[in-house]
């Protein structure tokens, strides 16, 4: 081991999190309707598979984009040879236009301020390298995406300090929670370089309010630190309230050309909104030219292929297609989410009210044997190994309250979702029966004990009465 680096030999990747362990169990026994109907259903994967048919239809109608042709002529040589890491201008223009479109065209983005990366994972890590040094800290509201422990920390050495949010107000961010996290970082002698949020939230499936965004902007202004807004789910908002980007709030407050304006950065990706994680397309948007320049240089370690940029440039430039896609995507997400919430409700399980994302934040606190994270893990193992559903426990998302789980709904067919709901409903019924049986036994013991005490008392009274006679 002495020949290896500390990174290679230490266990700091986070792979032993229950979030990743659930995936491993799924991969050992994946559900298949025909080949393995009793296998584990994957509900821990935030992937949008509901609209892939729309892409296939577009590809069939646009053979030039697929076969790497322009006006019928092959551009294979052009795409196959070296390209610099600034990216194709037509693709960057199409991407920022799409980002504006899914925000209702309330904000516009400059293609010169965007840096292409191999997914949002790369974008977030690159921003860590640009904004912080090893040993510095970022504040993150809980619950947060389990992969951040890997993406933000593993190679950069940056620390995460949680902003603890609770169910008492729907897990919304409060000023007191932000201040407390900042003070905790100071007690640990950590220099706070910024706050990172996901909006819409992963795992909550909710959009941030203007009040929350104002709190955050005021806070980073006061502390002279950065704000990263990970907006990879911005195109999945299927119910009101509509999505409010931090960029829109900055514009509304006339903060352009200010220090705050340059210290707010957006992460975006096509993995969630378009359901194309395999294409590995992410982006950093920043108003700080130094950050853009540094991130562009770093992006050479994770470029987006020329073929991918060409294909998506053609697709995103087709405004008729993008409008129809966004509308239909919202419709299908809304329907699938309703199916899950309704099915869980019939099983006696509630969800946090949500309006976005590919998952629900599910409240199973009433199924815990005790109000502990040990009980949460026991319940999670039962659901994975007995019910055969891979869901993510709240503890993997650093939730401070045991009993919450992230359950994904968009990576499966309606039939598979209904099967998953039936499995969970059956499990909850058995838990209720066991609990009732347990309560009945306790009640019986109480009755037996009371009857025994009564008989003993009566016998003692009778004996004393006989003695008196």
pLDDT for 8-66, tens place per residue? Answer: 767 666 667 777 788 788 899 999 999 999 999 999 999 999 999 999 999 999 988 88
Give the contacts of 56 (CB within 8 A, at least 6 positions apart): none
Sign of the CA dihedral running 411, 199, 229, 274? positive
> What mean pLDDT comes out for the span 450-455?
42
182 in the same domain as 109: yes
For residue 210, the cross-strand partners are none
- For residue 437, being part of any structural domain is answered with no
- For residue 86, being part of any structural domain is answered with yes
pTM of this structure = 0.89
Instruction: Name the least confident of 34-38, 98-102, 288-292, 429-433.
Output: 429-433
Identify which has the larger pLDDT, 12 or 257: 257
Is the bond leading into 143 cis (omega within 30 degrees of zero)? Answer: yes
Give the contacts of 366 (CB within 8 A, at least 6 positions apart): 348, 403
CATH number of residue 383's parent domain: 3.90.1150.10
226 in the same domain as 120: yes
348 in the same domain as 380: yes
- For residue 69, being part of any structural domain is answered with yes
306 in the same domain as 288: yes
- For residue 405, being part of any structural domain is answered with yes
Identify which has the larger pLDDT, 417 or 84: 417
Give the contacts of 30 (CB within 8 A, at least 6 positions apart): 36, 39, 40, 42
Q: Give residue 469's pLDDT.
A: 37
Confidence of residue 82 (pLDDT cuts 50, 70, 90): low
Q: Residue 272's closest CA among 264, 281, 263?
A: 281
> What mean pLDDT comes out for the span 441-468?
42
184 in the same domain as 84: yes
Identify which has the larger pLDDT, 394 or 85: 394
pLDDT greater than 50 at residue 456? no
The Cα–Cα gap between 138 and 204 comes to 20
125 in the same domain as 30: no
CATH number of residue 167's parent domain: 3.40.640.10
Q: Give residue 17's pLDDT.
A: 75
Instruction: Name the least confident of 57-66, 119-128, 162-171, 429-438.
Output: 429-438
242 in the same domain as 310: yes
Mean pLDDT of the chain: 89
pLDDT digits (tens, 9 = 90+) for 324-368: 999 999 999 999 999 999 999 999 999 999 999 999 999 999 999
383: number of CA atoms within 13 Å, CB side?
Answer: 30
314 in the same domain as 338: no
- For residue 440, being part of any structural domain is answered with no
- For residue 297, being part of any structural domain is answered with yes
As for how many domains the chain has, the answer is 2
290 in the same domain as 389: no
Q: Give residue 67's pLDDT.
A: 86
Q: Give residue 459's pLDDT.
A: 44
Sign of the CA dihedral running 190, 193, 198, 199? positive
Cβ proximity of 328 and 53 under 8 Å:
no
Confidence of residue 448 (pLDDT cuts 50, 70, 90): very low
- For residue 451, being part of any structural domain is answered with no
pLDDT digits (tens, 9 = 90+) for 169-216: 999 999 999 999 999 999 999 999 999 999 999 999 999 999 999 999
Identify which has the larger pLDDT, 428 or 453: 428
217 in the same domain as 353: no
pLDDT greater than 50 at residue 462? no
- Among the three residues 288, 321, 354, which one is the final residue of a domain in this structure? 321
Instruction: Name the least confident of 68-72, 178-182, 285-289, 362-366.
Output: 68-72
The Cα–Cα gap between 432 and 179 comes to 42
Identify which has the larger pLDDT, 95 or 67: 95
Q: Give residue 13's pLDDT.
A: 62
Confidence of residue 443 (pLDDT cuts 50, 70, 90): low
Confidence of residue 247 (pLDDT cuts 50, 70, 90): very high
- For residue 465, being part of any structural domain is answered with no
Q: Give residue 412's pLDDT.
A: 95
Q: What's the domain range around 204?
A: 61-321
36 in the same domain as 16: yes
219 in the same domain as 107: yes
- Among the three residues 321, 345, 369, which one is the final residue of a domain in this structure? 321
């Amino acid at each position: 081991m002495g020949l290896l680096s500390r990174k290679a030999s230490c266990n700091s990747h986070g792979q032993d999190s229950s979030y990743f362990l659930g995936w491993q169990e799924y991969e050992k026994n994946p559900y298949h309707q025909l080949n393995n109907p009793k296998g584990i259903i994957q509900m821990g994967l935030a992937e949008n598979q509901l609209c892939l048919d729309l892409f296939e239809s577009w590809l069939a109608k646009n053979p030039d984009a697929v076969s790497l042709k322009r006006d019928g002529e092959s551009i294979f040589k052009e795409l196959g040879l070296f390209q610099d890491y600034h990216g194709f201008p037509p693709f960057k223009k199409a991407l920022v236009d799409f980002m504006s479109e899914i925000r209702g065209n309330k904000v516009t983005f400059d293609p010169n301020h965007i840096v292409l990366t191999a997914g949002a994972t790369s974008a977030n890590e690159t921003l860590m390298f640009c904004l912080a040094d090893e040993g510095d800290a970022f504040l993150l509201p809980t619950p947060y995406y389990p992969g951040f422990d890997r993406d933000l920390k593993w190679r950069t050495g940056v620390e995460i300090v949680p902003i603890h949010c609770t169910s008492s107000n729907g897990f919304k961010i409060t000023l007191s929670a932000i201040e407390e996290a900042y003070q905790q970082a100071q007690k640990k002698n950590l220099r706070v370089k910024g706050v990172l949020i996901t909006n819409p939230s992963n795992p909550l499936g909710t959009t941030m309010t203007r009040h929350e965004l104002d709190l955050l902007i005021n806070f980073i202004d006061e502390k002279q630190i950065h704000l990263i807004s990970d907006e990879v789910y911005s195109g999945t908002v299927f119910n009101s309230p509509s999505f409010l980007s931090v960029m829109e709030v900055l514009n509304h407050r006339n903060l352009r050309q200010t220090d705050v304006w340059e210290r707010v950065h957006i992460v975006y990706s096509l993995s969630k909104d378009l359901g194309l994680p395999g294409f590995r397309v992410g982006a950093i948007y920043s108003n700080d030219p130094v950050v853009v320049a540094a991130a562009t240089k770093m992006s050479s370690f994770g470029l987006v292929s020329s073929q991918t940029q060409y294909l998506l440039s053609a697709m995103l430039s087709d405004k008729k297609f993008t409008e129809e896609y966004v509308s239909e995507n919202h419709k299908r997400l809304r329907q699938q989410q309703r199916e899950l919430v309704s099915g869980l409700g019939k099983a006696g399980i509630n969800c946090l009210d949500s309006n976005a994302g590919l998952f629900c934040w599910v409240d199973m606190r009433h199924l815990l044997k005790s109000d502990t994270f040990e009980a949460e893990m026991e319940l999670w193992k039962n659901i994975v190994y007995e019910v055969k559903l891979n869901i993510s426990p709240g503890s993997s998302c650093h939730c401070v309250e045991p009993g919450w789980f992230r359950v994904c709904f968009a990576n499966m067919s309606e039939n598979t979702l209904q099967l998953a709901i039936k499995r969970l409903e059956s499990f909850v019924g058995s838990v209720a029966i066991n609990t009732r049986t347990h309560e009945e036994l306790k009640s019986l013991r109480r009755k037996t004990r009371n009857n025994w005490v009564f008989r003993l008392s009566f016998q003692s009274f009778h004996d004393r009465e006989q003695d008196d006679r």
